[in-house]
Chains A and B, each alone.
Chain A
């Protein structure tokens, strides 16, 4: 699986949009971008994933650049409960071989009042 690079930490203001960048310049054509988050003392929580088109669900939006070398996770209206470590993961076609998730260090996001 391709390596990802994320900022170590970032702060954002409650009620504002939080934009979390991820670099995956070595991504292959059959690799998806996944985002998980981990709130303190809990297991990782799935947020969203995509291949090349932008995706949106009830939690967040995922914007993938046209060359697929980077992506941004957008939390539209950050709340204090969004404080967590956010992991960007690149993973081969889900139903192909290699079902494990390879986590990096993630971005520690602190939402401030």
Chain B
């Protein structure tokens, strides 16, 4: 079946702009996770959704970052007033229920100029 998909695959923006990154989880998966991966490092947790609600947002670096999952399926990660330090690969994962194996999408590479 279809895996986790993320769009766009690449996003180039200018410092100060607003961006939205989209994640389509595996159909039927109730849990959704966002991670960020900087060059040469392992992924770092950002936020976890169970259904429509954010169950753990402890990894969001500051209030410029926000994520939603209004219908419990697709999720959007929103970044306001982007900074060059936000450049990274943003990964999304989903699992059939909380704590089950997480399956990752291919990621969105964000470049802030």
Contacts and interface: CB of A to CB of B under 8 A. Distances in A.
Contacts, number: 55
Interface string B12-49: 00000000000000000001010100000111110010
A106 B41 CA distance: 9
Chain A interface, DSSP helix/strand/loop, else mixed = loop
A95 B42 contact: no
B104 A87 contact: no
Nearest to A94: B99
Q: Looking at chain B, what size class is its interface with the partner chain? A: 20 to 34
A71 to B, nearest CB: 17
B110 interface: no
Given A43-B4, A45-B104, A101 B43 contact: yes
Interface of B: 4, 31, 33, 35, 41-45, 48, 55-56, 59, 91, 93, 95, 98-107
